[in-house]
């Protein structure tokens, strides 16, 4: 047994844990991640990276690789409720060509599965200094005022090691040991259904040349889903079953073949069964997202039906959120109270997302479950998935709070707590997005006549992790107006956080821009800022010539 002291210990190598590890490593830290399994996911589940998640991952330069890993363009994606793939269509949820995010995001979506996303995140994290140890499980965990002590065990050798860390990110799944050790309970519906997923390949599948399709199947024989093949030719049919009457052993090869043919509505197909996996669909959220030094992320914090595709996205966004905040605290750029904003912001998002996915399950698969509130699921989807708002100590509201939980991302308000509008801007002959200006940390965007805020920002940028850009000189508007989309005048200013959310804005000029901006940054960073005493945190501004910034000209997919 030996003692080690990483700044951050991450439990679990799923989407949340690996995103946290990659983000921390990108920000210059060296976290230790332990995963009880021998590898990352081997199953083609969670098959998407939506544009909001990609906006975060593209900051690390991962967009091209993730898009390529998905194969088919997401513009060809189709979602349908039907009796079978070739049978009567009940309702089209998403027609082909509707998944065009170019007007409101610089990012392209990807149809990659979790088994392809996780290795990309793992490789990036390790290349940038993270240590990842597989076949290693958590045994115990204790927290004190100064840190967290964990006992981990190598599952192959049985050797145990005691780890001392400043903070822990618990991304250890829906049966989270960390959550149980902390005594954190769950709220929600609990188990909704038991399911059997059949992974298979076959020649001449219906619609095989028409891009990615997702069919929700409602027929007298079963309730389930069909997902078209991935790049490895693996398709999936998943059906609900009653565990009181059936078990995994009842799903023989012959029965699985019959289920696949029924789902496809094609008796001539000869499927090759790859794997049969029993899984449980649940709807629940942790009643706390952690403690002062331990933070729940991903399925450890919230478990939701896959209907709607937001489980993996919420995990990625959890991992990124806690990681950028930990990085700033550990590097001395922000006060430790910033970490409390993780739960303040992400728990309401988790609760709303679980409620939406549960309602979407009822609407798309179980219309008989009136208790799950599926009536407005599709109408609520866009705002909850992409337009959610934050309220926390790191968000400075600039007027009366309308208490809305989301806004339409295609009609941005520019209010603090909302995702910044995507505007295409030109700098040195290159096109960039407002959402790409946060690579180095915070970004202060000032209006074309905001000389006071520009001067104050550039002074503070010598000491704090803030990049300053003036519209009209540093950045040239191409089409959309900065002032109109951010709700400020030409003398106003907007402060963007490292996650692309608006932390603060000033609609117009103020008498003492330096004082106003200093106070705003002090509140957002949860730390006092005395400009007479600052020794200079210092940071390196990442240039705008990063390769992935040139992708705007391609449009979103």
Catalytic sites, residue numbers = 216
Are 467 and 440 a contacting pair, CB within 8 Å? Answer: yes
User: What is the three-class DSSP state of 334?
Assistant: coil
Name the E strands within 213-271: 213-218, 223-227, 235-241
User: What is the three-class DSSP state of 507?
Assistant: coil
Return d(Cα 321, Cα 53) in angstroms, integer: 11
What is the Cα Rg of the chain in Å? 24
Are 150 and 144 a contacting pair, CB within 8 Å? Answer: no
By C-alpha distance, which of 44, 37, 49 is closest to 132?
37
The token pair that represents 131 in the structure block: 């240590």
Return d(Cα 148, Cα 294) in angstroms, integer: 8
How long a stretch of residues is the chain?
557
Burial 15-51 (b: 16+ CB within 10 A, else e): bbbbbbbbbbbbbebebbbbbbeeebbebbbbbbbbb
The token pair that represents 201 in the structure block: 């390949």
Return d(Cα 169, Cα 330) in angstroms, integer: 14
The token pair that represents 210 in the structure block: 């028409």
Classify residue 288 as exposed, middle or buried by CB count within 10 Å of its CB (0-12, 13-18, 19+). Answer: middle
Return d(Cα 165, Cα 24) in angstroms, integer: 14
The token pair that represents 126 in the structure block: 């390790």
By C-alpha distance, which of 175, 171, 123, 181 is closest to 12?
171
Are 238 and 198 a contacting pair, CB within 8 Å? Answer: yes
The DSSP call for residue 380 is H
């Amino acid at each position: 047994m030996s003692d080690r002291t990483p700044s951050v210990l991450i439990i679990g190598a799923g989407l949340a844990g690996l995103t946290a590890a990659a983000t921390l490593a990108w920000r210059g830290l060296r976290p230790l991640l332990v995963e009880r399994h021998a590898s990352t996911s081997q199953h083609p589940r969670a098959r998407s990276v939506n544009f909001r998640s990609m906006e975060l991952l593209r900051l690390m330069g991962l967009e091209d690789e993730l898009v390529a890993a998905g194969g088919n363009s997401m513009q060809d994606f189709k979602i349908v409720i039907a009796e079978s793939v070739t049978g009567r269509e009940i309702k089209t949820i998403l027609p082909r060509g509707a998944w065009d995010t170019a007007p409101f995001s610089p990012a392209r979506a990807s149809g990659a599965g979790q088994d392809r996303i996780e290795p990309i995140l793992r490789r990036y994290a390790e290349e940038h200094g993270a240590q990842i140890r597989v076949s290693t499980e958590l045994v115990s965990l204790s927290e004190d005022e100064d840190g967290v002590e964990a006992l981990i065990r190598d599952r192959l050798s049985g050797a145990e090691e005691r780890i001392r860390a400043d903070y822990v990110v618990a991304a250890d799944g829906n049966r989270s040991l960390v959550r149980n050790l902390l005594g954190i309970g769950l709220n929600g519906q609990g188990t909704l259904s038991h399911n059997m997923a059949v992974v298979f390949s076959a020649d001449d599948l219906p619609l095989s040349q028409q891009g990615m399709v997702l069919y929700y199947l409602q027929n007298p024989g079963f309730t389930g889903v069909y997902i078209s093949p991935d790049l490895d030719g693996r398709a999936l049919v998943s059906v609900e079953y009653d565990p009181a009457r059936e078990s995994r052993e009842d799903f023989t090869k012959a029965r699985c073949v019959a289920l696949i043919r029924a789902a496809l509505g094609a008796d001539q197909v000869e499927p090759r069964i790859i794997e049969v996996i029993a899984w449980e669909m649940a709807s629940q959220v942790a009643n706390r997202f952690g403690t002062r030094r331990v933070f729940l992320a991903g399925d450890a914090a919230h478990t939701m039906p896959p209907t709607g595709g937001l489980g993996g996205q919420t995990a990625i966004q959890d991992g990124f959120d806690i990681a950028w905040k930990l990085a700033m605290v550990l590097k001395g750029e922000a006060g430790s109270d910033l970490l409390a904003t993780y739960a303040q912001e992400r728990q309401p998002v988790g609760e709303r997302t679980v409620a939406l996915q549960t309602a979407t399950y009822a609407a798309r698969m179980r219309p008989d479950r009136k208790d799950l509130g599926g009536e407005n699921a599709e109408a609520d989807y866009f705002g909850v998935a992409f337009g959610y708002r934050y309220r926390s100590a790191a968000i400075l509201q600039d007027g009366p709070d309308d208490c809305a939980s989301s806004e339409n991302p295609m009609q941005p308000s520019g209010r603090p707590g909302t995702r910044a509008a995507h505007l295409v801007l030109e700098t040195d002959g290159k096109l960039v997005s407002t959402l790409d200006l946060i690579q180095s940390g915070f970004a202060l965007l000032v209006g074309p006549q905001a000389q006071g805020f520009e001067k104050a920002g550039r002074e503070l940028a010598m000491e704090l992790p803030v990049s300053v850009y003036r519209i009209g000189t540093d950045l040239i508007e191409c089409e959309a107006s900065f002032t109109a989309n951010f709700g400020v005048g030409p003398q106003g200013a907007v402060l963007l956080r490292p996650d692309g959310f608006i932390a603060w804005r000033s609609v117009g000029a103020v008498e003492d821009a330096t004082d106003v901006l200093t106070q705003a940054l002090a509140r957002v960073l949860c730390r006092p800022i005395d400009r007479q005493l600052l020794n200079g945190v210092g940071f390196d501004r990442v240039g705008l010539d990063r390769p992935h910034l040139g992708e705007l000209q391609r449009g979103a997919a």
